[in-house]
Amino acid sequence: MPTDPTEVTAGIHDLSFATTSLCLTHEELARHTGAPVAKYHHGIGQTSMSIPTEDEDIVTLAADAAAPIVERHGSDRIRTILFATETGIDQSKAAGVYVHSLLGLSPHIRVVELKQACYGATAALQLACALVRTDPAQEVLVLASDIARYDLDSPGEATQGAAAAAMLITAAPGLLELGTPSGLFTRDIMDFWRPNYRTTALVDGKASLDAYLDAVDGAWLDYRARGGLPFEKLRTVCYHQPFTRIAHKAHRRLERAEGLTSTVQAIDEAIAPTTTYNQVIGNSYTASMYLALAALLDSDADLGGDDIGLFSYGSGSVAEFFTGRVGPAYRAHLRADAHRAQIARREPISYAAYRDLHTRALPVDGTPHEVGRRTLGRYRLAGIRDHQRQYRATRP
């Protein structure tokens, strides 16, 4: 029967993330760059970064993140998979199709890939909520998976990272009910980009920081102009975190836009619960803001019934400010132990081993290539044959 979409609540019912099997600490990085470790720990707010093994990529990470959701809820009601990434592996085939196969899902599902730098997952989330409001019986699986790579010895090197977030979008969500309106902001600027012929991104650091903060202003002003909640009604804000200190800068920017002034300590207390995962994982592009959300929900704070802000930014640039209300029984849906185990299991590697992995590349001419098993995850990239990526489960 037809349903009035305005009467249907929609949002995130479950949230799970996965990261890689290796990590490089910033202490190890500092020993070889000569930079004081405080530049990393305090300057950008990072202490380590997730590094993928050769058999880990955006598909294996996304499948690892999604599997626990399918196991908990089943897949009978999933009708759509939306895969957001800016490190795509194919110019035609959606990476989500590989995930669909690895998870053994029904063929009666649409699968689409979305791209707009780090913003793509928020576009996927909004599309998913629109689908659910139209048909509350269906569920949508949103996947955000990326591996952030910059040139060796470049300014961006210390902000690298990798992770995937999986979200089950439903009517009457248990974790976070999305609110309206959204504030939007788009500007054509070359602050960060990666042409097809490059495996590492190009970035103008100062332009990127300025563009991010300008987008905070622009999206927030649009949000308020459309009747959004006043700043003081928000418990806190989850920001996209290419490095965690930028969230503190963004929060101060919002306060200034509202004519408010807080101490550094007050801002740190508001933002710190959102940074605990990103500061040890590094930048995960499309997944970054949703790792901030996971960190906040997994924290000791009692958030039930609170409204929180979310600021999503993708270079180039597109931004959105929106809000969500935390469910009264949200703790029953959390995966805090599993998330912390994902981080704790990573094997620290030496700087030399990191550089070796960074310089390895899969063949681009179709040459058959086998990849040895190294991942600790459930799924692996086994190799390439006839220009086709081969994926395998690592356990029954």
Which tens digits make up the pLDDT trace of 328-341?
999 999 999 999 99
d(CA 68, CA 355): 32
Domain end marker among 330, 345, 374? 330
End-to-end, the C-alpha distance of the chain in Å comes to: 41
292: enclosing H helix or E strand: helix 288-298
297 and 312 housed in the same domain: yes
194 and 67 housed in the same domain: no
- Split at pLDDT 50, 70, 90, the class of 122 is very high
Catalytic residues: 86, 118, 240
Which range marks the domain in which residue 360 is found?
Answer: 5-175+334-393
169 and 226 housed in the same domain: no
Domain end marker among 285, 302, 330? 330
Was 150 annotated as part of a binding site?
yes
269 and 371 housed in the same domain: no
164 and 277 housed in the same domain: no
d(CA 355, CA 339): 27
Q: What is the pLDDT of residues 17-37, one digit of tens each?
A: 999 999 999 999 999 999 999
- Within 8 A by CB and 6+ apart from 229, the residues are 179, 307, 323
Was 351 annotated as part of a binding site?
no
- Alpha carbons within 13 angstroms on the beta-carbon side of residue 79 total 13
Structure tokens that stand for 91 in this block: 């110019």
- Split at pLDDT 50, 70, 90, the class of 366 is confident
pLDDT at 4 over 80: no
If one counts the domains in the chain, the total is: 2
326 and 379 housed in the same domain: no
Domain end marker among 330, 355, 380? 330
130 and 56 housed in the same domain: yes
The average confidence (pLDDT) of the chain is: 96
